[in-house]
Amino acid sequence: MRHQRFSAAAASAALLALTLPATIGLAAGVEPGTDFVLYRDAAARWLAGGPFYNPWQLEGPYAIEHGAILYPPVALLLFAPFTLLPAVLWWAIPAGLVAWALGRLRPGPVAWPIMAALIGFSPLPVLLKAGNPWIWVFAFMAAGTAVVGPSVLVLIKPSLAPFALFGAWRRRWWIWAAVFVVMCVPFGSLWQDWLVALDNSSGSALYSVREIGLMLIPIVAWAARAPRCTETE
């Protein structure tokens, strides 16, 4: 087993050493926290009585660019608290959730090179540096592989909705799903604005395709979990 762990660690390190420099280079031109600031400020604008979605998103067709708000209204439950909370928690909380999930699953040696490859051939450095809300979606997915339910929260990014179904074979998942539906109700007509903003955008169902590989990482960890974790609780 020790030999397997050493081999897995060596293979993982080699994969990351070969692939990460290129993806880190892509992040060089990204302003730190640019996505975090975008969504925090949009939430602050909404809390002050203004629109959540930009007026130009509702007026007619537009090309997706920085500044476009495409998350559904329920995502305000994530964004709004950060108008008051320290910005560092935007990164620290999801990082803690992912670490907790991996510690609980204890994936075996075979999983680590696969997870390293999925990281290496991904836009992870860009997403992290920008503070893209995907980091929370990933954390919810990771938590949902360690204990049934939190994967439902992946639905705050509908383009990754299939991943939210992880755990749907258990009753607890359906309880989480019911709670999520209740969370959506208070936003009323804002849902119509979201649908108009989506319809007017140049986006497609493949909008989040670059993130699919990363979303598979928790599933790989779950599939190779320690024997004591034979079934997610």
Structural domains of the chain, count: 1
Structure confidence by residue, pLDDT tens digits, 132-187: 999 999 999 999 999 999 999 999 999 999 999 999 999 999 999 999 999 999 99
The pTM of the full predicted model, rounded to 2 decimals, is: 0.91
137: helix, strand or coil:
helix
Residue given tokens 């599939």 in the structure block: 223
Q: Which domain holds residue 84?
A: 2-229
Residues of the chain with confidence (pLDDT) below 50: 230
| Pair of tokens at residue 18 | 């070969």
Dihedral through CA 127, CA 130, CA 16, CA 19, nearest 10? 80
